[in-house]
Amino acid sequence: MKPKIWGGCLFICLGILFIFCSENPKEITTESLFKEMVDLWGLTDFPKPVYKTIQFSSFDRRSCIPQGPGWFSNSDGFGGEPFPNFEKVITKPDEEGIGEYLMAEVEGPGAIVRLWSAAISGRIKLFLDKSDEPVYEGDAVDFFHTPLKPFSEAGYLSDRHLHKTLYQRDASYVPIPFSKDMRLVWIGDIKTIHFYEVQVRVYEKGTRVKSFSPQDFSEYRSTIESVVSVLSDPDQNWKLRSDKQKKHFDSSLEPGQKKEVVFLQGPQAVERFDVRLYARDAEKALRQTVLYIQCDQYARSQVQSPVGDFFGAAPGVNPYSSLPFTVHPDGQMVCRFPMPFQKEFRIFLQNMGAQPVRAKGSVLPADFDWDEQCSMHLRAKWRVDHDLTASNTDIQDLPFLIAFGKGLYVGTTSYLLNPNPVPTSYGNWWGEGDEKVFVDDESSPSVFGTGSEDYFNYSWSSPDIFDFPYCGQPRNDGPGNRGFVTNFRWQILDPLPFEKNIRFYMELYSHEETPGMSYARISYHYARPNMTDDHVAIQKKDLKQRQLPDNWKPAARMGARDAVIYAAEDLIMDSDRTELNPGRIWSQGSVLTWKPEGTGSSKKFEFLIEDKGIYRISVAAGLTPHSGKIRFEIDQQKTLISGNKETADLYRPFRILLRNIRLKDMELSSGLHCLSTVFQGASNEILKPEVNIDFIWIQKID
C-alpha cells in the first residue's frame, strides 16, 4: 500500500461520492461488525455508511511505479530490506537494533477488519482515538494470530471456538472499530522477520463509530457467540431467511446443448442455489458444463463459469465447507451468496463437452425489495490462460478483474495446473506474486500484498489441504505445490467497495521458469446494473481438459539439489504383495502399491551410500482413502520423521495426494543400508489397506 496517497485526499474523495444509499446510517460498533461477518445479505447493497477498504502491508517499498523499475521487487518481510517495510521510522534502532516503526495509521473513523502474518518478531502497540495508552500491547505474533489472548473479557471463547472461526489459518478476523484515529506501532529489530498485512475500513467523514473497548466482548457476548456458532459450521448453523418452497430442476444435456433450467420473476432473490452433475467422467463434466446466471434480461449473463469452478471445486470434486459455498463429497455443490434481481432470473446450462450430462438441483427464492439506487447483482466470470510460462525473472501481472461501474468485491478463486518437476515447494512454488488492487482511478494500489498465498490467508507455500469460513485450499496434488492447486478467499468482513472502477491483478511469480502452466480464476463481486468489464466469452478451447505431463520425473535441483532420486520399485528387496498402479500424479506414471498383511509387517528398500556423512532421506508417499499409518526404520533402528513424529498417517478421505515424508537427518556410513516401512494399522472401515511409495530421495547435507 502506498502511504503517501492516504491523507486528506482520501476523505475528500469519500466526501464527494454520489451515494443514495447512505441515508440514516446506523452507528458502527464492535457488535455491528461481528454481525457483518455472517451477513451475506448485507453484501447485496452498496455499503452504508460508505467506506473504503485499504491494506497496510510489508510489501517491498521499491514497488512504487506501476510497471516501472522495482515494480516486481520481492523483499517483503524477511528483514534487512533496502527500505523499511513500514509507513515511517518513528525511532531509529538503538544499540541493540531495536527501533519503533509505524505499521499503519488512519485519521478519522474506521475499523481494523483483517490481520495476517506469516511470521513476525518484536512487539505491537495499538493506539485508538489519540490516546496515549495503547488498547493492545504485546507480542506481535500474538496480535496477528491470536488477538483475543490478552483480553480476559473474551475468556468464554476457548481455543476450540476461535481457531476455525475468528482465527483462520494465518489470518484473524476480530473487528476493532475506532471513531477518531488508529495508530499501529511495531517495536523490533528491522533485520528480523516481519511479514504483515493489516486490512482497514476507512469510513466517510461524519460516520458514527463507537470505538472498540475490551468490555465489548462482555457486552456483546450473545452476538459474538452466535456469529462464532455460524462460522464454526455454516452447513448446520446457517439460518435461511426464506420460507418459500425450493424450485427443483432435473435436466439432461446432450453434447453442445444449452438449456434454461430455472426461471423466476421478480423482484426476488435466490437465497440458495445447489446443483449436482452426473456423467461418465464427472471431472470433465464439471469443467465442460458452463453455468450462466442471467438477471433482468441483460445481454450478457452476470455469472459465466464452468459449473465446478463457480463453486470452488475445480478440477473435479474437492470437498470443503465455507460460509458462502460448500462442496459435498457426493458432488452436491451449494451456493449461499444471495442473488437479487428486479424482473427476471434465469439459469442456463450448456454442455460444451463430448459426453451427455445430467444436472439436478434447486434454487430457493426469497422476498427482496429491489432498490433502484442501491441493489446489486452477483457477478462471477471465469477466465483462464493456458500454456503460460511462469518465471522468477519475466514476471507478469495477471488480470483477475477489470471492471467499470459501482460495486463490491467479495471473493476470489484460483485454479492452477503447475507442471514443475522439482519435488519440493522450494523449487515448484508458483505463488511468490503479490495481489495489487486499484480502486477508483488510483495510480497506486490501495491493496498491495506480500504473496499469493498470503492473500489466501496461508503462508510459506504450504501444500496443506484446509478449509475455513473465509479461505481454503481444497486441492493441492503435490509433492510440494506441483499438480492441480485450488485456492479461495471470501471477503465478507473486508470486501472492497468501488465507486467508479476496480482493477485486480495477481503477479505470476514462480521460483523458477515453468512452461505449460494453466491459470484460471474468478472474481466474485456485487455490482450495480451499469457495470461493464473486460470479460471475454468462454470458448470451447478454454475448457479443454488439462492433464499433468505423462511420465514426469522429479528434478534434483533447488529444494532437492544434489539429491539421488530412486523409483521405489528399483530399491525394493521383496516385491511380495506389491504391484505398480498407473496415474499421472505419480513419477514416471506409476506408483508402488504395497498391501500389508497386517500391523507390524514391513517392506524393505535397499540403498547405497558412497561417502560417510549426514544424510536427509525423504519418501514420496501417496495419501489416499485406502491408506493407513506407517513408521520407518533405518538398518532396523526406529527413526523419527519431521516434527519428531514416530508415525505418518497416509489416510486422506476423498483425495489422492503425493507428499514428501522427511526422515530425521542422520549419519550414515558408506555401503548398503536398509530403509524399512512398517505398517501401523488402518481404520476398521478400510478393508484392504494399502501403502503407496512413489520415490525415495537422498541428500547429503554436511
Contacts of 505 (CB under 8 A, 6+ apart): 397, 398, 399, 400, 435, 436, 437
What pLDDT does 14 receive?
Answer: 43
Q: How far apart are CA 288 and CA 293, in angstroms?
A: 16
Return the CATH number of 562-700, one of 2.60.120.260, 2.60.120.10, 3.40.630.10, 3.30.360.10: 2.60.120.260
Reading the block at residue 381, the C-alpha cell is 466470470
**pLDDT per position as a tens digit, 331-381:** 999 999 999 999 999 999 999 999 999 999 999 999 999 999 999 999 999
Amino acid residing at 307: V
Q: How far apart are CA 118 and CA 97, in angstroms?
A: 22
Task: With residue 684 as reference, give the H or E element that holds it.
Answer: none
pTM score, whole prediction: 0.94
Helix, strand, coil percentages (3-state) for the chain, rounded to 5, are: 15, 45, 45
Reading the block at residue 96, the C-alpha cell is 541493540
Q: How far apart are CA 570 and CA 424, in angstroms?
A: 21
Q: How far apart are CA 438 and CA 397, in angstroms?
A: 13
Residues 640, 646: contact at Cβ < 8 Å? yes
Q: Which residues pair with 303 in a beta bridge?
A: 293, 380
Below-70 pLDDT ranges, the chain: 1-25
CA distances from 424 to 92, 182, 414, 553 (A): 39, 41, 21, 13
Fold annotation for 242-375: Jelly Rolls (2.60.120)
What pLDDT does 8 receive?
Answer: 42
Residues 344, 264: contact at Cβ < 8 Å? yes
What pLDDT does 7 receive?
Answer: 41
Q: How far apart are CA 472 and CA 464, in angstroms?
A: 10
| Residue recorded with cell 493441492 | 476
Q: How far apart are CA 414 and CA 504, in angstroms?
A: 13
Task: Report the length, in residues, of the chain.
Answer: 702
Task: With residue 285 as reference, give the H or E element that holds it.
Answer: helix 282-288
- Domain extents for the chain? 3-232, 242-375, 377-544, 562-700
Output b/e per residue, 223-234; b: 16+ Cβ within 10 A: bbebbbbbbbeb
Reading the block at residue 535, the C-alpha cell is 470479460
Amino acid residing at 664: K
Q: How far apart are CA 404 and CA 422, in angstroms?
A: 41
What pLDDT does 9 receive?
Answer: 43
Residues 405, 528: contact at Cβ < 8 Å? yes
Q: How far apart are CA 228 and CA 38, in angstroms?
A: 9
Output b/e per residue, 403-424; b: 16+ Cβ within 10 A: bbbbbbbbbbbbbbbbbbbbbb
Dihedral sign for Cα 678, 680, 681, 683, please: negative
Fold annotation for 377-544: Jelly Rolls (2.60.120)
Q: What phi and psi, each to the nearest 5 degrees, are found at residue 31?
A: -65, -45
Residues 388, 394: contact at Cβ < 8 Å? no
